Amino acid sequence: MAAPICPTCGTAARLTDGREIYPHRPDLADKPIWACTVCEDTYVGCHPGTEEPLGFPADAALREARILLHHRRIDPLWKDAPRTGGYGRLDAEGIKTVQRAARVRVYGFLAARMGLTRETCHTAMFTLEQCREAWTALKGVSYGEIRDWAKFGEGRKPTGRKRRAPASGEGVAA
């Protein structure tokens, strides 16, 4: 496992765990965390069940920016999706299904707006600059717009899912 490099000082991070980083959170004690050996309070968590870093070590300002981006911009869009109409009456399972699909669309939309692939469009990998870019990209956007974009949108990047394939010989329409 290659140690992630701290973007602030260029040093390879060291692997530690929640006992050191979150001393007041016994529930996180065993979580592997990569921490910068030079910069104070600069770390990154791992993909669940692995020691693979979720991006690069972030300082408090960057972590705060990522959290804000989630709470104020990204999460409300997909969480409120079932209330945006067109779904009829939904039970708890139906609400979850709509939210899951909405979440995929929100990230797809954000990736397209930011010129990223879906694989690199994760807030844990965002720089402060990208957090600002995402914040602006989602400003004033409703889930209805994202749903329309997903259905009829232009400039979508292929997601691996089959959409109306152009007949052979036909150019790919812009």
Phi-psi region of 87 (alpha: psi -120 to 50; beta: other; left: phi over 0): alpha
- Minimum Å distance from CB 108 to Zn ion? 32
Look up residue 35 and give its two tokens.
Answer: 């921490």
Are the C-beta atoms of 156 and 112 separated by less than 8 Å?
Answer: yes
- Minimum Å distance from CB 45 to Zn ion? 16
**Residue 153 phi/psi, 5° resolution?**
-60, 165
- Minimum Å distance from CB 46 to Zn ion? 18
Using the minimum distance from each CB to Zn ion, give the nearer residue, 1 or 9. 9
- Minimum Å distance from CB 6 to Zn ion? 3
- Minimum Å distance from CB 34 to Zn ion? 11
Angle, CA 127 vertex, CA 122 and CA 129 arms, to 5° = 115
Coil vs helix vs strand at 90: coil
Which residues of this chain interact with Zn ion, rule CB under 5 A?
6, 8-9, 36, 38-39
Look up residue 81 and give its two tokens.
Answer: 């999706």
Return the beta strands (E) in 8-157 as ranges. 14-17, 32-35, 43-44
Using the minimum distance from each CB to Zn ion, give the nearer residue, 8 or 99. 8
Using the minimum distance from each CB to Zn ion, give the nearer residue, 12 or 67. 12
Using the minimum distance from each CB to Zn ion, give the nearer residue, 13 or 150. 13
Using the minimum distance from each CB to Zn ion, give the nearer residue, 9 or 68. 9
